[in-house]
Structure 1
């Protein structure tokens, strides 16, 4: 079965920076799952996986525009320190998680005050060319419920 819109894809990945250093991986762990064609995965990854099948392994280098986006110069924002998740004491350069109307988002701490923090709302990997080593662990037809919800359920996917 090949990857196309309406298929649930399970995959393992290793994310590398411009120097080839590993930034993140799920190798040795359970594969992640997503519903192909429903905006649940980076556009560049979906394009690279289109037409691939279970067992396929390959690497793809993608521009920022197809992964975490270009860096936005005007992306600084002041927020209350109580909204930051991930640590008790904050220092410039640390990455925090904040809840937004669009869900959780990673931000980078720029300045720390007693009650307020200035953060960069660009994703920490925005503006970078990244390489993904991908292995397709499984491909199956999505259920009607998964299509209605717009995401994969079960192992590696969303749990309600």
Structure 2
């Protein structure tokens, strides 16, 4: 069986930045299960996994436009501090959920001044080349419910209201 649309790919992965530092890994944990063809993983990695078989191991570098996109300067905004009323102390590194024109989005505080707070709505890995080491450890048929919902479900279900 080969990985293709509407099948579940099961992979172990290590993600490193261009400096060789590990950003994320499934090592020592359960492998990642994803529904192929439903954009559950970055497009560049999904394209490379197409046609792979159990036992295949490979490395791939995914450029930003096929990963989390380029840094968008429009997603960095300086806001008046009073917009954060109810938060005792706003600090660099804090994350907030914000309603944007694209729906709910996570933003990170990147600077705090006396009167303003600068937030960044870019994905933390935007603008970075993603260097993956992949091992395909399984492939299975997706359930009808997974296909309907567009993502893999754990044994407990998906945890979302649909």
Normalised TM-score (structure 2)? 0.80
Q: Name structure 1 gaps, 5 residues minimum.
A: none
Q: Secondary structure at the residue paired with 1:44?
A: helix
Deviation of 1:100 after TM superposition, in Å, equals 4.7
In structure 1, the partner of 2:34 is: 34
> Partner residue of 2:17?
17
Displacement of 1:33 in angstroms is 1.2
Matches of 1:82 and 1:70 in 2, distance apart? Answer: 32
Secondary structure class of the residue paired with 1:58: strand
User: What is the Cα deviation at residue 39 of structure 1?
Assistant: 1.6
**Matched residue, 1:145:** 145
The alignment of Structure 1 onto Structure 2 pairs a total of residues equal to: 156
- The separation in 2 between residues aligned to 1:81 and 1:63, in whole angstroms, is 35
| CA deviation profile, 1:49-93 (whole Å, cap 9, x unmatched) | 000012211110010011110011221233844799xxx85433x
After superposing on structure 2, the runs of 4+ consecutive aligned residues of structure 1 that deviate more than 6 Å are 101-104
Is residue 8–residue 139 contact of structure 2 (8 Å, CA) maintained in 1? Answer: yes
Partner residue in 2 for 1:48: 48
| C-alpha separation in 1, matches of 2:149 and 2:6 | 12
Please give the residue correspondences for 1:92-103 in structure 2 after superposition, counting only pairs within 5 Å: 92=92, 94=93, 96-98=95-97, 100=99
Structure 2's unaligned 5+ residue stretches are: none
Displacement of 1:111: 2.4
Q: Let me know the Cα RMSD of the aligned residues.
A: 2.9
1:57 and 1:97 map into 2 onto residues whose CA distance is 37
1:3 to 1:115, Cα distance in 2 relative to 1, 3 A: farther
Query: Contact 2:98 / 2:107 at 8 angstroms: preserved in 1?
Result: no
- Cα distance between partner residues in 2 of 1:158 and 1:117: 36
Tell me the SS of whatever aligns to 1:131. Answer: strand
Deviation at residue 23 of structure 1 after TM alignment: 1.2
Distance 1:137 1:104 in 2: 34
> How has the CA–CA distance of structure 1 residues 82 and 58 changed in structure 2, closer, same or farther, with 3 Å as cutoff?
farther
What whole-Å deviation, never above 9, does each CA across 1:17-64 have from its counterpart, x for those lacking one? Answer: 111111111111011211100121110110010000122111100100
